[in-house]
A = this chain, B = another copy of it.
Amino acid sequence: MQGRHLVSIDDLSLAEILELFEQARRFSEDLRSWAHLCPGLISASLFYEPSTRTRLSFESAMLRLGGGVLTAADMRMSSASKGESLADTVRVVSEGYADIIVLRHPSEGAARLAVDLSAVPVVNGGDGSHEHPTQTLCDLYTLWIEKGTLEGIDVVLAGDLRYSRTIHSFAYALARFGANLICVPHQGFEMPNYVLKRLREEYGAEPVRADASRLGDLASESDAVYLTPQKPHQLSLFTDGSGLPVDKVDAVYMTRPQTERWGAESEQNFLRLGGGALSPEPLRNALLMHPLPRRDEISPDLDANPRSMYFKQAARGVPVRMAILAMLLGRWESKAPRIASLDRKYEVLGGDNPCPNSNCISHTEQRHCKATFRITAKHPLRAVCGYCSHELAIGVVGCSTTRHFHDRGSAPARKIRPDHLVFFRDAEQAVTMGYTAPTR
C-alpha cells in the first residue's frame, strides 16, 4: 500500500471532504476545461458486478481530466471464470497497466484486500453491502451545494433502511457532520441496531424516531408518504419518539427496495412518494434525494420539481469523482489535515477465520487473504474483521505467549497485547488448541 486510497468515507477527514467539495465545485464550473490535469494517466474500471452509472461517471471523470480509461465491465464473465483471483488481478493491473483502479466487487471487504496488494491508488466503487464512499460523497455534496452546510440540517431517511448500503454510509457521514436524522423506514425495513449503535457510539448521534401520530398527520395532510391504493396500511412504524422537527426538514432521502438482496415479495406495497409529496408545510424547503435507480418509489410527477435532486445527485458524480481521482493521483492536493490513521490491523493467529460474514472477501478469497482484525473496544474486548468490518463473534480469547485463555469480558483479556491475541469460539475449543484456563 503506497499513497492514498478511498475504501471508506472514513478514510477522509471532515476538513478533507469539504476541500474536496470546494474542488468539485471548481471543476463543475466548466467540466471541459481540466483535461490538462491527468494526461498520460490511466484509470482501470474493474467491475465484478455491473453498475453502469457508477462506472460511466468514473470514466467520464477520468476523460474530463484528460486521462485514459481501461474498462472491464464484467470481470465475473471474463478472467474470474478462469479462476483468476481478485488478488492476482489487482496486482497485475496495478503494475503498469493503470495508474488508479476503480473496483466494484460483490464481496464485502474486497476493496480493502485490493488496497493491500495494489501498487496504485484504489477507489472503492462498492464492495457488496459494505461501503460505496463515492456515492455517499455525491449525496453529501448535493446537500452541501444546496444547503450551504451539513451541520445541523435535518434529513429524513425513508424507504429500505435495513439493506441499503447507501443509507448506512450516508447516515454515518451525516452524523459525523452533525446533521440530524429522522428515520421513516418501510415496515420491516427499519434501520438495523448495529447501525443505530454505531451512530450513537462513534458519532454521538441519536436518530429521531418518527412519532406515529405525527407521521400519520404528515401523510394525511400532505400525501408526502402514501402507499399503494390496494393495500393502505398503518404508518405506525415507530411508537416512541418525540421532537420530530417537521417544521424544518431539509431533505428527504428515499431509497428503493433492494430486491436483488432480499427478493421481490414486499415490493408491492413499498413506500411511494406521489406528486404532492414535497408540498406540505414541513417539507416546504425540503430536497428530495434518491441514489437511483428508482422504480416506483418516486413518482415521475416529481421529476420536474426543482427540489427533486436525484438526477442532480447523479450528475454531480462527475465533478466529485474528478476531485477524488485528481487527489488520489496526486494532481490536486488538499491542505486539510488528514484523518488520524485507523486502528491498527492485526493478523489472526491460527485457528479458523473468526469473521462471521460469509460474504466477506476473507472467506470468498481465502487463499489470498490473511484474516485480520481491528480492536474496537477494550472492555469487554470487541473486535471487527479487518476487511468487512463485521463484529467478530468472540467467546474466549487466548494469549499466544502465555497459552492461557480468558473470558473476553475479563480484566486479563484486556491486558493481552493485540498481536498476541487468539480468538476461540468457546473454552472447549481453546482447550483443544492447547490453551489452559488461567490459575484462579
Contacts and interface: CB of A to CB of B under 8 A. Distances in A.
Interface of A: 28, 31-33, 35, 39-42, 44, 50-53, 56-57, 59-60, 63-64, 68-75, 77-79, 81-85, 87-89, 91-93, 95-99, 256, 259-260, 292-296, 300, 303, 311-312, 314-319, 367-368
A83 B259 CA distance: 10
Contact of A64 (B42, B300, B368): B42
B53 A79 contact: yes
Given A88-B294, A293-B79, A367-B300, A97 B50 contact: no
Contacts of A83: 256, 259, 293, 295
Contacts of A72: 52, 56, 73
Nearest to A75: B52
A52 B97 contact: no
Contact of A42 (B42, B60, B99, B256): B60
A151 to B, nearest CB: 27
Contact of A60 (B79, B98, B296, B318): B98
Given A53-B92, A92-B292, A59 B63 contact: no
Given A78-B50, A311-B92, A367-B300, A60 B97 contact: yes
B319 A96 contact: yes
- Copies of this protein, total: 3
Given A44-B56, A70-B60, A96 B294 contact: no
A308 to B, nearest CB: 11
Nearest to A369: B300
Contact of A92 (B84, B92, B93, B315): B315
A63 B92 contact: no
Contacts of A70: 56, 59-60, 63
Nearest to A95: B315
A85 B97 CA distance: 31
Given A32-B40, A56-B72, A96-B31, A260 B367 contact: no
Contacts of A79: 50-53, 293
A311 B93 contact: no
Contacts of A95: 311-312, 314-315
Nearest to A80: B52
